[in-house]
Amino acid sequence: MRATVALRNAARTPLIRFVGRRSVPKSIDHTPRAHPASPSGILPDSFAAYRIKAQQHGPLGRASFSQDSVGRSAGASLGPVQPAQGEFFDRADLPARFHRLKWTEAEMEAIETGGASLFA
pLDDT category of residue 62 using cuts at 50, 70 and 90: low
**Residues 64-77 pLDDT 10s:** 444 555 567 777 77
How are the residues of the chain apportioned to helix, strand and coil, as percentages rounded to the nearest 5? 30, 0, 70
**Which of 53-57, 65-69, 77-81, 93-97 is predicted least confidently?**
65-69
Higher pLDDT, 111 or 5: 111
Averaged pLDDT for residues 88-105: 90
pLDDT category of residue 107 using cuts at 50, 70 and 90: very high
The confidence score (pLDDT) of residue 68 equals: 52
The confidence score (pLDDT) of residue 56 equals: 65
- In this structure, the dihedral spanned by the alpha carbons of residues 79, 80, 84 and 85, taken in order and rounded to 10 degrees, is -130
pLDDT category of residue 60 using cuts at 50, 70 and 90: low
- CA 102/CA 66 separation, integer angstroms: 47
Give the domain ranges of the chain: 88-119
pLDDT category of residue 105 using cuts at 50, 70 and 90: very high
The confidence score (pLDDT) of residue 115 equals: 85
